[in-house]
Structure 1
Amino acid sequence: MSFTETNTSAPRIWGFRRDAELRAAREAGWSRADLAWERLMERALAAAAAGRSRQAMRLFRLADLLARAAFPAADLRRAAAPANLAVLHFRRGGLAEAERLQARALRVWAGAAVQVAAMRIAPRSRSSLFHLRMEALHRDTFHANLKTRVGRIAAETGETLCNLTSGRAVLHRHASRWRGEKPAVFDGTRKVLGACLLLIDG
């Protein structure tokens, strides 16, 4: 049987039932795979944080398969699941497999600067018409500042990926920042930040 047939969380991940979030994502130009990947990663990170490493590895593998099937080769999200699997293998003493997965993640992350520069930025929800007008008036500055900020986060993620199998203390937080950094809109910044932050902490 497939994962979707045997796992009761599948409807929530894949959006088989009435799903307002999926509807909003699709209206914004996201595919079902975009949102399913994000949900798989969130579920896998929750399992890892709870000490359920076998479940986490299974979900990360599913996210990895989905990313490779649905996303372009340069998409930064293709680095996240291998990075997390590298961490889990390293913790279990599987250094060779961890290093192989780390190398995969780093090959993708080599294009991070290009992907950040190219990411599509959707208008943000604002509390007033004034804020909406100000964003429209200064859109280029707003976009440049946002890309600079996301670029810094991507650089931190690059440092983390380089140290996945070093045994050294992690310098940056990732998963614990996701809830606060996760954009409310479905655009390129959410995809890139997902790649940056849907990573195991510590």
Structure 2
Amino acid sequence: MSFMTMNMFAPRIWGFDRADAEWRTAREAGWSRADLAWERLMETGCRRLEKTSDRSLFKAASRCFLAADLLARARFAKGDPRRATGPAARWRLKGTERLRDRALREWGGVAAYIETLEIRPRARSSLFHLRMEARHRDTYHANLRKRLSAFAAETGETLRGAGAHRHASRWRGEKPTVFDDTRKLLSACLLIPDISR
């Protein structure tokens, strides 16, 4: 499937106009158009599944996940955990084991990804907390990596069928405001629909 065909699935998601503040912020942080388009496709698919009784929304969500899957395979490097999220989402909808198997293969390198991810400074509520983070950066980063590893472990359990974790419903609360690798990893972990077929 070409990117032109994928564009028919979600024209508003692909488009980035100059007034799009999120796109400007993401671009200034070094994100590519594909990074934000993938996230928006997955978010849109998950949102559409909140009304699972509407069959047309179910199909529209499936198309968003397919487009995100194709985009990830075309634009993201091997070892990027987002390459596992599209097939994982499609597996949750369709129950197709080959999609789950592909998601598990792609998810296999997540531990190495967590060790190498770039963590950018967070906004802090006070100058004291900002100074504490600057003074103890290694500790902050180690704690954040530990927390991210817990999210990744839950996602791995879901893919193996060993746990009934909620993913998409947690995204809104966990979504980082910083455009860095932690946001990419959390989106890979959490933008999986909470329903199964």
Same fold flag (TM > 0.5): yes
In structure 1, the residue matched to 2:73 is 68
Superposition deviation, residue 117 in structure 1 = 1.1
Superposition deviation, residue 126 in structure 1 = 1.1
Deviating runs (4+, > 6 A) in structure 1?
none
1:68-91 deviation digits (Å, cap 9, x = unpaired) = 11100110001001011111112x
CA contact (8 A) 2:13 2:41 kept: no
User: Quick one: distance in 2 between partners of 1:152 and 1:14?
Assistant: 34
TM-align CA RMSD: 1.6
Any residues of structure 2 matched to 1:190-201 within 5 Å, and which? 190-201=183-194
In structure 1, the residue matched to 2:24 is 23
1:182 to 152, 175, 178: 175
1:9-61 deviation digits (Å, cap 9, x = unpaired) = 63344313421101100111111110110000000111122222211111101
CA contact (8 A) 1:183 1:190 kept: yes
Tell me, yes or no, if structure 1 residue 84 matches structure 2 residue 85: no
Tell me, yes or no, if structure 1 residue 123 matches structure 2 residue 116: no
User: Quick one: distance in 1 between partners of 2:192 and 2:41?
Assistant: 12
Secondary structure class of the residue paired with 2:34: helix
In structure 1, the residue matched to 2:130 is 132
Runs of 5+ unmatched residues, structure 1: 91-97
Secondary structure class of the residue paired with 2:156: helix
Letter in 2 for 1:192: L
In structure 1, the residue matched to 2:141 is 143
CA contact (8 A) 2:171 2:190 kept: yes
User: Quick one: distance in 1 between partners of 2:166 and 2:61?
Assistant: 19
Superposition deviation, residue 2 in structure 1 = 4.0
CA contact (8 A) 1:14 1:32 kept: no
User: Quick one: distance in 1 between partners of 2:175 and 2:188?
Assistant: 11
Runs of 5+ unmatched residues, structure 2: none
Using structure 2 for the length normalisation, give the TM-score: 0.90
